[in-house]
Amino acid sequence: MFGSSVLDIGLGLMFVYLMSGLVCTAVNEAIASVLSWRSNNLRAGIRNLLDGPDAAHAEWTERFFAHPLIQGLYRKGSGPSYIPSRTFALALLDLVVPPAGRKPQTVEDLRLVVEASPASDRIKQVLSLLIEEADRFTAAGQKLRLEGVLDLDKLDTLFNQLQRQIEIWFNNSMERVSGWYKRRVQACTIGVAMIVAAALNVDSVMITRHLAQDGALRTVIAAEATQTAQQPPPDPQGGASSSVKSRVQGIDALGIPLGWPNPDGAPTGLAWYLTKVLGILLTAGAASLGAPFWFDVLNRFVSIRSTGKAPEETPLPPKQLPMPAPPGVPAGVAPMGNPLGV
């Protein structure tokens, strides 16, 4: 009985952390949308590629975003938050190698076109390296073809191989840009989690105490947590303000003690304040891990809890019964070769 209560308390806390994480994610999405974090982050990453982080003027970044292929990704005047690698490569090549005649087919032609283009020295240096890489791939593909081997990744024209190399360059750079965004969001999540936990009085210590003392509340929360774990993962990005409101109302409707004034009454001394700060910090730290983390933990915990006690891995030997003594052997004496008497 005691073990069951402890498991239910753990389920209740995980459920609260999951809901708090969803609230924090919804707030983060609202902030990111208002401040255009994704599009600004993408523009900063492309500026780092085309003009360099220390460039006084982002001339080529502006040219790139003014290209019709990129303009087609705009929505209601706001910049794109994602650009496919193929679109990036096509737009850049169109700016550097305008389609005024046939495409250059040799390494020398490509180098001359790039050197004669109005591209910056930074872009020319990068493209010259990528041209060398494309030439190696093309030469390897031709050699394999002569040997009777068809490698579709290498068996292509030099210009198409250059486009492929630009796409790889772009994708590798965007992985680093994604890291910038994740670090910014993580820092924001920690701050939002502390504000949400304090504003809503989501106190882990207080909630644990209520779950330990109120069996009915514990049962309701455990059932709700189990049902949530059996459903598809909740979408943390749907409708920022309405999502925050619905999540908070959902937690409050279950009877979990939240909000101000404090459900346990007025402050009673220094120990009360220290416990309150500890409980809110615990909730903020847990919620900052994110809703996907707690959904996964909750799912695993429910699965283990519903399985019950695991059976013994090594089966016990069958019960040994004494056999009747053969004729001529006194009772209780084991026959030769059977020291166990069975």
Q: What's phi and psi for 75, nearest 5 deg?
A: -140, 115
For 15-34, what is each residue's pLDDT tens digit? 999 999 988 988 998 899 88
CA separation for the pair 221, 18 (Å, rounded): 12
Which are the contacts of 332, defined by CB distance < 8 A and separation ≥ 6? 325, 341
CA separation for the pair 37, 313 (Å, rounded): 53
pLDDT at 270 over 60: yes
Q: What is the mean pLDDT of the chain?
A: 81
Query: Any bridge partners for residue 94, and if so which?
Result: none
Smallest CA-to-CA distance from 136 within 123, 151, 122, 119 is with: 151
CA separation for the pair 42, 341 (Å, rounded): 82
Q: Which pair of tokens denotes residue 32?
A: 């990111």
CA separation for the pair 212, 206 (Å, rounded): 10
CA separation for the pair 239, 30 (Å, rounded): 9
For 188-210, what is each residue's pLDDT tens digit? 999 999 999 999 999 999 999 99
For 310-323, what is each residue's pLDDT tens digit? 444 445 555 554 55
User: Averaged over 326-331, what is the pLDDT?
Assistant: 52
| pTM value surpassing 0.85 | no
| pLDDT score recorded for residue 154 | 46
Smallest CA-to-CA distance from 232 within 142, 292, 167, 284 is with: 292
Q: What's phi and psi for 316, nearest 5 deg?
A: -70, 150
Which are the contacts of 81, defined by CB distance < 8 A and separation ≥ 6? 38, 39, 42
pLDDT at 127 over 60: yes
Which are the contacts of 295, defined by CB distance < 8 A and separation ≥ 6? 18, 228, 229, 233, 234
pLDDT at 1 over 50: no
pLDDT at 306 over 60: yes
Smallest CA-to-CA distance from 28 within 251, 243, 277, 293 is with: 243
For 84-122, what is each residue's pLDDT tens digit? 999 999 999 999 887 665 667 778 888 888 888 888 889
